[in-house]
């Protein structure tokens, strides 16, 4: 796609919702499981008593965060999102902290969403059990291919499953509520079991109870992941960008709250029992049910209970849940490359991440995200319970710093604003962001306390490593820029003379082309150099040179130890030491070959010599190519095929 067609990729709200909100919407598919699993450590009675309280707490935090981010998209619509807010208002180090947290969280989003999707799909397709890792890797490859096609194309492909999920969950909720009101709502199959406390959690009181509730709350806050994606993707919306983004954010928040509340409420009403170790914690008539029991997810059990014998409804909910969880990863595929592009532009990541590929997508960022997520899935064997412990730390780091930055933003704006109506609006926005910062900070502390030893420490370590790495990349770019910056007295500085050297091994067509090219540049001094390894060959070259009356002096360098590179390097250094302001240009004839195995047979001496000369100050190396027949037509493969950003941008 041409660069001037970028406007065609902008998204209307109907496509932006499934693209940017799929992560947040899909969180309601596994957040209830995490809440009930944590509470279930203390037994079934604990779940019944406290599950609704945890749900209310998560819903309240979600409402506050959504309201806070609506202020962000209006104040900072450029697409930098939390990174831009923190950088502008709290400084570059705070912005880099947010960026490292978000990058890690995006990778975890893909790993958790894909793994959870495969796990839910296994409810309807038992044949997937035991092959979760392979299926998950295949799904990542599919998402990568779709996103390389471009944002709008992936949105069209993924819109239908996301809307189908909304219809399935809300439809199931309405049907279940009607059954509950009419007294026809049945009990879940697992309701017949008794959920006993896990070993070590039999007597819960005081601090232990509070800590377990905090753990359940922090796990349930996984439902908030993905809320920040819209603030990072405002430039992808159709105009008016900020208004459309804010409307989409409100719709996403409302849908998430309704679906999460419905699932938790119906789960309590149907008596769903779910345990971390079902074989030992679930008992029937006082006896553990054993390891042979296959435990479905909360949504899977709820669908079977609400729809009963209506199999199409059960299958539909299972399939759309699996699809939405897989497509939730698409939010990260949109957020990670855009954030990577912004960081690359600011010099914190390699420049290749800043350029769009063939389909105007940030191809390099997409590929890096896919590779990192695939490694995580292999490392954790696609187990959601293990991966979820690493999750949500990063997103609440970004939430907290972003909302703190917005408070400073409004404070700065209020100092210069005199209009009373505008001041009231700003003060209202500041109050919302202050509440958001307080709630996000509180949840972050809870998450760090409850999840640190469970796996969150690895996510924090990854953020710290990424932070240091990005600082190192920025220092490198700054150092290179300082070295390359022109001073005022260097703008017209030219070398005193140009000493050109043509390297030869024998007299043939490539050598003659190199001589002709060197002469055409009109250097101050031109000579041909050969290294005497075999005296007979050197003598034959001298005779041929004289016979052809080539108007360039030929110098033969002695090499008693048969080295090629060392005599040439020593000769070039002698020229430089004698005339430091002279520039030495070394012309090297090279074969252009079409087959990989031919590379082994040719150009090895030239490659080694070039590598040595490139590190020699004041020396320039010019390759003079000679195309052999095997290379004919291969130039098309370098220009007609798809190219990622690094190829398009060229050397940095």
What does the pLDDT look like over 77-116, one tens digit per residue?
776 678 888 998 999 999 999 999 989 988 988 888 788 7
Confidence of residue 153 (pLDDT cuts 50, 70, 90): low
541 contact partners, CB below 8 Å, separation of at least 6: 504, 506, 507, 530, 554, 556
- Phi and psi of 622, rounded to 5°? -120, 120
Whether 52 contacts 265, CB under 8 Å? yes
Strand-pair partners of 587: 502, 622
452, 581: one domain: no
Question: Residue 394 sits in a domain of what CATH number?
Answer: 1.20.1740.10
In this prediction, residues 606-621 reach a mean pLDDT of 86
Is residue 162, in this structure, part of any structural domain at all? yes
**CA dihedral over 445, 449, 452, 455, signed as positive or negative:** negative
Q: Which residue's entry shows tokens 């570059």?
A: 92
Whether 315 contacts 609, CB under 8 Å? no
What are 355-372's pLDDT values in tens digits? 776 666 678 888 999 999
Mean pLDDT of the chain: 82
23, 166: one domain: yes
468, 600: one domain: no
User: How much is the pLDDT for 651?
Assistant: 46
Sheet of 282-284: strands edge to edge?
194-195, 282-284, 287-288
What are the structure tokens assigned to 492, written together? 């017209």
470, 527: one domain: no
542, 433: one domain: no
Highest mean pLDDT (candidates 224-228, 259-263, 464-468, 601-605): 464-468
Is residue 332, in this structure, part of any structural domain at all? yes
Confidence of residue 641 (pLDDT cuts 50, 70, 90): very low
What are 314-324's pLDDT values in tens digits? 888 888 887 88
- Whole-number Cα distances in Å, 105 to 110, 394, 622: 9, 5, 46
35, 159: one domain: yes
Is residue 64, in this structure, part of any structural domain at all? yes
In this prediction, residues 119-143 reach a mean pLDDT of 79
- Which domain does 130 fall in, by range? 3-422+429-479
475, 591: one domain: no
Is residue 488, in this structure, part of any structural domain at all? no
Query: 3-class DSSP state for residue 508?
Result: coil
Largest Cα–Cα distance of the chain, in whole Å? 110
Is residue 641, in this structure, part of any structural domain at all? yes
Q: Which residue's entry shows tokens 């965060």?
A: 65
**CA dihedral over 626, 628, 633, 639, signed as positive or negative:** negative
Percent of the chain with pLDDT strictly greater than 70:
88
Confidence of residue 1 (pLDDT cuts 50, 70, 90): low
102, 208: one domain: yes
In the predicted structure, residue 642 carries a pLDDT above the cut 50: no
Distance CA 460, CA 104 (A): 9
| 291: DSSP letter | T
Is residue 29, in this structure, part of any structural domain at all? yes
Question: Residue 557 sits in a domain of what CATH number?
Answer: 3.40.50
Q: How many folded domains does the chain comprise?
A: 2
462, 554: one domain: no
DSSP string, 108-166: HHHHHHHHHHHHHHHHH-GGGTT-HHHHHHHHHHHHHHHHHT-HHHHHHHHHHHHHHHH
């Amino acid at each position: 796609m041409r660069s001037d067609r970028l406007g065609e990729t902008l998204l209307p709200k109907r496509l932006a919702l499934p693209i940017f909100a799929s992560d947040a919407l899909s969180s309601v598919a596994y957040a209830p499981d995490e809440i009930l699993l944590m509470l279930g450590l203390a037994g079934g009675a604990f779940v019944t008593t406290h599950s609704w309280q945890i749900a209310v707490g998560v819903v309240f935090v979600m409402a506050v965060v959504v309201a806070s981010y609506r202020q962000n998209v209006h104040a900072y619509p450029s697409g930098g999102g939390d990174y831009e807010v923190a950088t502008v208002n709290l400084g570059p180090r705070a912005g880099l902290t947010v960026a490292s947290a978000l990058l890690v969280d995006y990778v975890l989003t893909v790993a958790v969403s894909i793994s959870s999707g495969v796990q839910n799909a296994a409810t309807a397709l038992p044949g997937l059990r035991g092959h979760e890792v392979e299926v998950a890797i295949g799904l990542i490859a599919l998402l990568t291919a779709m996103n390389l096609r471009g944002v709008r194309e992936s949105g069209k492909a993924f819109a239908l499953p996301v809307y189908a999920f909304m219809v399935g969950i809300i439809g199931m909720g309405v049907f279940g509520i009607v059954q509950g009101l009419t007294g026809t709502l049945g009990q879940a199959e697992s309701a017949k079991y008794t959920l006993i406390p896990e070993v070590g959690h039999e007597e819960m009181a005081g601090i232990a109870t509070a800590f377990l509730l905090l753990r359940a709350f922090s796990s349930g806050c996984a439902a908030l992941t993905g809320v920040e994606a819209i603030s990072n993707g405002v430039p992808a919306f159709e105009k008016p960008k900020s208004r459309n983004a804010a409307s989409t954010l409100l719709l996403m928040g409302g849908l998430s709250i309704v679906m999460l509340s419905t699932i938790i409420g119906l789960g309590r009403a149907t008596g769903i029992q779910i345990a971390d170790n079902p074989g030992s914690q679930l008992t029937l008539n006082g006896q553990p049910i054993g390891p042979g029991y296959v435990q479905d997810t909360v949504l899977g059990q709820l669908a079977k209970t609400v729809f009963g014998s209506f199999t199409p409804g059960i299958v539909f909910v299972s399939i759309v849940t699996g699809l939405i969880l897989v497509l939730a990863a698409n939010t990260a595929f949109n957020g990670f490359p855009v954030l990577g592009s912004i960081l690359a532009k600011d010099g914190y990541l390699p420049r290749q991440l800043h350029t769009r590929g063939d389909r105007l997508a940030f191809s390099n960022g997409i590929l890096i995200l896919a590779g990192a997520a695939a490694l995580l899935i292999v490392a954790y064997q696609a187990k959601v319970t293990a991966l979820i412990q690493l999750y949500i730390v990063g997103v609440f780091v970004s939430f907290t710093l972003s909302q703190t930055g917005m408070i400073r933003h409004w404070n700065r704006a209020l100092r210069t604003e005199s209009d009373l109506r505008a001041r009231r609006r700003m003060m209202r926005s500041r109050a919302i962001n202050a509440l958001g910062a307080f709630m996000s900070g509180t949840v972050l502390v809870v998450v760090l306390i409850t999840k640190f030893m469970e796996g969150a420490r690895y996510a924090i370590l990854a953020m710290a490593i990424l932070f240091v790495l990005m600082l190192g990349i920025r220092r490198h770019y700054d150092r290179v820029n300082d070295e390359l910056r022109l001073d005022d007295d260097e703008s017209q500085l030219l070398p005193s003379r140009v000493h050109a050297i043509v390297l030869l091994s024998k007299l043939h067509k490539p050598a003659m082309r190199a001589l002709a090219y060197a002469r055409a540049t009109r250097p101050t001094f031109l000579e041909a150099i050969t290294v005497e390894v075999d005296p007979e060959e050197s003598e034959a070259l001298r005779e041929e040179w004289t016979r052809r009356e080539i108007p360039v002096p030929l110098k033969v360098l002695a090499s008693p130890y048969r080295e090629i590179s060392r005599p040439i390097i020593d000769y070039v250094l002698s020229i430089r030491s004698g005339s430091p302001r002279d520039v030495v240009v070394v012309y090297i004839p090279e074969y252009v070959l079409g087959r990989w195995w031919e590379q082994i047979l040719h150009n090895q001496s030239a490659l080694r010599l070039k590598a040595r000369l490139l590190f020699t100050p004041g020396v320039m190396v010019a390759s003079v190519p000679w195309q052999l027949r095997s290379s004919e037509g291969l130039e098309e493969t370098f220009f007609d095929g798809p190219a990622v950003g690094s190829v398009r941008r060229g050397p940095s």
